[in-house]
Amino acid sequence: HLPPLKPTTVRMSMTQQTRNSQPYGASVQADIEAHIKQFLTIKEPLAVFEPMHHLVFNAPKTTVPALCLAACELVGGQRHRAISAASALLLMEAATYTHEHLPLTDRPKPVVKNHVFGPNVELLTVDGIVPFGFELLARSDDGENSERILRVMVEISRAVGSGGVVDAQYRKTMDTRSDGEEVCHVEEIMRVVEKYEGELHSCGAVCGGVLGGGSEDEIERLRKIGFCVGMIQGMAKRGFNEGNEVNEARNLALQELKFFKDKELDAIKILLNI
């Protein structure tokens, strides 16, 4: 039987770092990457592990893993309780990003991304990254939190799976013309943002809440707050920086945040761009 994985030593709490005016996101990201690096070493077979290392640590950063840790702390949990879930989320997003940019015979020619590896290596590497994410999470069981971990796995499976990110990816494909330009209908874009950034952030917040020992009420509020964070981030990514939809999402989140009024909210507020 495998020993449970020890969480990486976490240097100081998120809010302390913010107060010390370190760039908050960067430091959280570094902690999560350090945790992953403990277990994802470059080893034999190099043909497998070198691309895996590269694709995981060079995918664009998102705020989902940081939100997971922030949610854990918000419900009073120690940050290290959620570090494996945050790591799994980072891995899932790297996997998603890579497959999304894979050149396929029936996809328009990619315009942006430089590929270090060929499509075959990228495809197979991702097929290794996803189970590695679940493995990391499964091994973080310390004998007391196994039910919480299983619950988090269900949340992550749903967010990245057919009803979540995969659905959003289909929609994106259908909205893409053969020259690679995305057709921009605001409603359809919003639907993609909901299923993509919305559900992923929602999932990140719930995972943090579950592993931090939050109550069911707290977890459901975090689900809504996470969704709002995701909508704001997803809209910003697509150029909707301000506007009715953004304000609406921010107000909804602030409404739910009132419930946590005695708690340390700096981290979440940064993620809400407040």
- By CB under 8 A, name the binding residues for its own copies: 1-2, 45, 47-49, 52, 95-96, 99, 102-107, 118-121, 123-125, 127-132, 134-135, 138-139, 141, 143, 146-147, 149-151, 153-154, 156-158, 160-163, 165-167, 169-170, 173-174, 216
> Is residue 208 within 8 Å of residue 146, measured between CB atoms?
no
- Based on CB atoms, which residue is closest to its own copies, 179 or 262? 179
- Based on CB atoms, which residue is closest to its own copies, 221 or 250? 221
What distance in Å separates the CA atoms of residue 99 and residue 168, rounded to the nearest whole number? Answer: 13
Q: What is the DSSP letter of 164?
A: T
What distance in Å separates the CA atoms of residue 106 and residue 98, rounded to the nearest whole number? Answer: 17
Q: How far apart are the first and last CA of the chain?
A: 46
Helix residue ranges per DSSP H, 139-240: 146-160, 165-174, 186-193, 199-211, 216-237
Pull the structure tokens for residue 24.
């908050």
Q: Least distance to its own copies from the beta carbon of 36, Å?
A: 14
What distance in Å separates the CA atoms of residue 251 and residue 166, rounded to the nearest whole number? Answer: 28
Sign of CA dihedral 145, 42, 61, 164: negative
- Based on CB atoms, which residue is closest to its own copies, 170 or 259? 170
Q: Least distance to its own copies from the beta carbon of 140, Å?
A: 9
Q: Least distance to its own copies from the beta carbon of 137, Å?
A: 8
Q: Least distance to its own copies from the beta carbon of 184, Å?
A: 20
- Based on CB atoms, which residue is closest to its own copies, 45 or 60? 45
The H or E element containing residue 36 is helix 24-39
Alpha-carbon radius of gyration of the chain: 18
- Based on CB atoms, which residue is closest to its own copies, 166 or 190? 166
Cβ atoms within 10 Å of 95's Cβ, excluding its own:
24
Q: Least distance to its own copies from the beta carbon of 120, Å?
A: 5
Q: Least distance to its own copies from the beta carbon of 214, Å?
A: 12
Cβ atoms within 10 Å of 2's Cβ, excluding its own:
8
Cβ atoms within 10 Å of 152's Cβ, excluding its own:
26
- Based on CB atoms, which residue is closest to its own copies, 127 or 248? 127
- Based on CB atoms, which residue is closest to its own copies, 24 or 132? 132
Q: Least distance to its own copies from the beta carbon of 182, Å?
A: 15
